[in-house]
Amino acid sequence: MSSIEQNQPRPAMPVVRPVTFADLRACLAQGIADFRRAPLFGLFFGAVYAMGGLLIVAVVFRLDMSYLAYPLAIGFALIGPFVAVGLYEVSRRLEAGRPLDWPGVLRVIYDQRRRELSWMAFVVLFVLWIWLYQVRLLIALFLGSRASIDLGRFVHAVVSTPEGLTFLAVGHLVGAVLALVLFSVTVIACPLLLDRNVDFVTAIVTSVKTVATSPIPMIFWGLMVVALILIASLPAFLGLLVVLPVLGHATWHLYRRAVAP
């Protein structure tokens, strides 16, 4: 390492501020306002996310792995903050009074491949891989021969046997822990990495500190996001055309309130 590199100052650790339920309401209102100001961008990114959901469902049933539909649905909801990078950029431009144009917004997304945000993709994929692996492991441990690739038989085995009910209880407990981890490391990290020149470890630490500083409002936010995305996914994922952009814009404003300028 050269002396110049050694003497360069390290970026200061972002300062985390408490988040209240009033902040959450304000962020949702700002998210709706941003969607109304730039509806075409919101509909576009919402459509991309919806098509991703349809592709996941098609692959799961094509491979006769319908028992993974439920855990994949939860995981699909939790990667929303990472998918919504384009919406963060739209909100950032609206906030700064900068013009909105498709080449500019898409170029920012494309340029993230050379920045720290690309490393977050590996973090998210790693957690999701653990998520799916623990589902397969718990199925083998608790259901064994009762497990079936047929969705109807699998559901019957889960809800009508002691082993199946134990599988549900343990699976939801383990899934809740992994969901909290994934939510904590991404909710603030993704917009922070888009907005500032920090490394992804700093972004993850800042995101976790935000959740730890205001655990009740932030966990409520995470539960609300998952619930809204799941509900929006029920009508063939069409609800995501509106729900995803509103939540994406709102998450940007949540980051701006949670992390000091």
Are the CB atoms for 146 and 167 separated by under 8 Å?
no
For residue 73, how far is the Cα from the chain centroid?
A: 12
- Look up tokens 């920090």; give the residue: 198
Q: How far apart are the C-alpha atoms of 33 and 20, rounded to whole Å?
A: 20
pLDDT tens track, the chain, 261 positions? 444 444 555 567 899 999 999 999 999 999 999 999 999 999 999 998 888 888 877 877 777 776 666 666 666 666 666 678 899 999 999 999 999 999 999 999 888 878 888 788 788 878 878 877 888 888 888 877 666 556 677 777 788 888 888 988 998 898 888 889 989 999 999 999 999 989 999 999 999 999 999 999 999 999 999 899 889 888 878 998 999 999 999 999 999 999 998
Q: Is 259 helix (H, G, I), strand (E, B) or coil?
A: strand
What pLDDT was estimated at residue 75?
66
Rounded to whole angstroms, the maximal C-alpha distance in the chain is 68
Phi-psi category of residue 148: left, alpha or beta, with phi > 0 → left and psi -120 to 50 → alpha: beta
Q: What is the pTM of this model?
A: 0.85
pLDDT for the residue 4: 45
